[in-house]
Chain A
Amino acid sequence: MNALLKLLQTNARLSSSELADRLGIDESQVEEKLAVFETDGTVLGYHAVVDRDKTDNRDVSALIEVKLTPEREGGFNRLAERIAKFDQVSNCYLMSGGYDLAVVVEGSDLREVASFVSDKLSTLEGVVSTATHFQLKVYKQNGFLATSAAEPKRLPVTP
């Protein structure tokens, strides 16, 4: 993958000049490239990776396996895009294997998620079944470990 994108994926807060230093190019080149990525939708957005367990936020998150009936024209796309548009849905993927869509739903409590599934999701025409799994604890999120690993210790001077 593009080196600029790789860097932003691990730390989106780096300024253009910091990015330029690391990549050995000019700041203006970084800004040009970023503008292209943002315009063509390669970069969808920037966000902080927050470990909710360390905040007072009691929101819950569930992974829902959804089975769909594919349509003659367009397969799963129309329905999947419709599901993805709900604000409660944070992630939505088409999957291979035993079910079709993996949908991550966020809510303020268990009941809110449950009612989204029963009222909105499972009543959609074409949704065959759903299976809801609530998330209990985060160990790793977007490439970041929730419990920080000890820093490796080195001798100060070695050959």
Chain B
Amino acid sequence: MKPLEERIASQVSRIPRSGIRDFFELVQGRDDVISLGVGEPDFATPWHIREAAIYSMEQGETSYTSNLGLLSLRESISSYVEDLFNVSYDPASEILVTVGVSEALDLVCRALLNPGDEVVYHEPCYVSYCPSIVMAYGKAVAVETKVEDEFVLKAEDVAAKITDNTRMILLNFPTNPTGAVEPVSELKKIADLAIEHDLIVVSDEIYCELLYGGETGMEQGEHTSIASFPGMKERTILLHGFSKAFAMTGFRLGYACAPAVLTEAMMKIHQYSMLCAPIMSQNAAIEALKNGAGPVEEMRRAYAERRNLLLKRFREMGVPCFTPGGAFYAFPDIRKFGLSSKEFAHRLLEEEDVAVVPGTAFGEAGEGSVRCCYATAYDKLEIALDRIAAFVSRL
């Protein structure tokens, strides 16, 4: 019999093991770890949302839904998206409810890419972008963003990577893992590029509610979606979901907003793989959109407070850290200590029991930084920062 390794499809074996998973296994064996290594809120889902899910189950709402998702949820999403992004989508044909944004991204890649089609995306980035493209037989073309530019994606760098085979540009602002926010002027230039080269833009805006405006970050910042620019709605697939702002990661609920033809194509795959997103999550999401604004703002403020503490402490430690405009990550620059991201993270874990994720888990461009998630209880964050200070003072 052929070795089982050889039975694995080639595009799957080509995908390297996730750096996050490697690190997870190291952390798991230790007891006293304070983890800044997570990619999710430390808050439980607001009670009114959990309660709505419980109620819906009590009412016997436990069946399949339309493949696209409950119409009432799509209607709520439509008006929420219109308020937030200033773009209107038809709930009947332009919105697809998915099992998290990750599924939505997978659907986009599988529905739109032919073998060898190129997708330009920016690194450091969320861990699933490159694999999702590769698994759809596409070619992932990374554009490096740099700490010197505050991780802004420069349109000229995107332009340099566009070839005759480029089909899509994949964006994520605010960005996981850097917390970067793209300036509107640069976003506009990227939109112009997409129009000029007739490209589809996929925009993952999962962190868009978590923006830190004003001088101290305590005010809600303003979000601009690339889909809202003239001529962009028809070539943009907007991805959003409930995991981050509503603290609903475990509900696994996201959505794609796109022109009807593209939505239909994604739905074709979704109906045979997922069939539909879980109805209890969909019911919870209806409640989240209806009454969730208050809790979302409260959580955002709590993140803003932690962000202020973290930035101040890094300043005091002499660790350069770019001021993240959104999400709940900081991406301090650790190059001056002469360690690789991996060495830094491993030694910090070994010596001080603090988990941060090596920047390279988010692509080669993440070398020289580590990702610190500040969606961590304030008192724990304080202790973690004390430990980091002790660690860097020894380097």
Contacts and interface: CB of A to CB of B under 8 A. Distances in A.
Nearest to A145: B47
Interface residues of B, number: 34
B216 A149 contact: no
B24 A23 contact: no
Interface string B19-47: 01001100110000101011110111000
Interface in A105-159: 149, 152, 154-159
Contacts of B309: 21-22
Interface of A: 3, 6-7, 21-25, 149, 152, 154-159
A157 B28 CA distance: 9
Interface in B293-329: 301, 304-306, 308-309, 311-312
B215 interface: yes
B269 to A, nearest CB: 22
A154 B35 CA distance: 10
Contact of B40 (A7, A25, A154): A154
A157 B38 contact: yes
Dominant secondary structure of chain A at its interface with chain B = loop
A156 B44 contact: no
Contacts of A3: 218, 301
Contacts, number: 65
B137 interface: no
Interface of B: 18, 20, 23-24, 27-28, 33, 35, 37-40, 42-44, 126-128, 176, 215-218, 301, 304-306, 308-309, 311-312, 355, 357, 378
Nearest to B310: A21
Contact of B216 (A6, A7, A24, A155): A24
B308 A155 contact: no
B218 A154 contact: no
Given A22-B308, A23-B218, A25-B216, A158 B39 contact: yes
A8 to B, nearest CB: 13
B301 A152 contact: no
A124 to B, nearest CB: 39
Contacts of A6: 301
Contact of B20 (A22, A23, A25, A159): A159
Nearest to A11: B378
A24 B35 contact: no
Contacts of A149: 44
